[in-house]
């Protein structure tokens, strides 16, 4: 579970880097920026769920209900962010 948490922490950190980068250079519409902020909120929510599970506040069964949905969310978000970054700055890479 710690590994899964580290992947979502990485996603959140990369989202924050991209949001900072976009605010400096401009670019995507306000709606797209809002979508990235929503991604960050969802990512923080799932990190909290993992923490609750690690503390014993959420059972494995409860966490598994979220895991499938958030795995799809993670891969879709990661793909979208990598595509955006490549379009805006082809020489820049993020650690996932």
Domains of the chain: total: 1
Asked if residue 21 belongs to a domain, the reply is yes
Asked if residue 38 belongs to a domain, the reply is yes
CB 47 within 8 A of CB 67: no
Specify the pLDDT at position 2: 77
| pLDDT < 70: residue spans in the chain | 25-28, 93-96
Specify the pLDDT at position 96: 63
Asked if residue 35 belongs to a domain, the reply is yes
Please state, as a whole number, how many other Cβ atoms lie within 10 Å of the Cβ of residue 92.
11
Asked if residue 93 belongs to a domain, the reply is no
Specify the pLDDT at position 95: 66
Specify the pLDDT at position 27: 66
Domain residues for the domain of 73 are 2-88
CA distance 83 to 52: 32
Asked if residue 95 belongs to a domain, the reply is no
């Amino acid at each position: 579970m710690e590994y899964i948490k580290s992947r979502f922490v990485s996603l959140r950190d990369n989202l924050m880097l991209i949001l900072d980068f976009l605010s400096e250079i401009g670019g995507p519409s306000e709606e797209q920026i809002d979508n990235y902020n929503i991604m960050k909120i969802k990512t923080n929510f799932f990190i909290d769920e993992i923490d609750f599970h690690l503390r014993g506040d959420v059972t494995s069964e409860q966490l598994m209900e979220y895991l499938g949905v958030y795995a799809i969310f993670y891969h879709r978000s990661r793909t979208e962010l990598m595509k955006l970054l490549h379009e805006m700055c082809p020489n820049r890479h993020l650690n996932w």
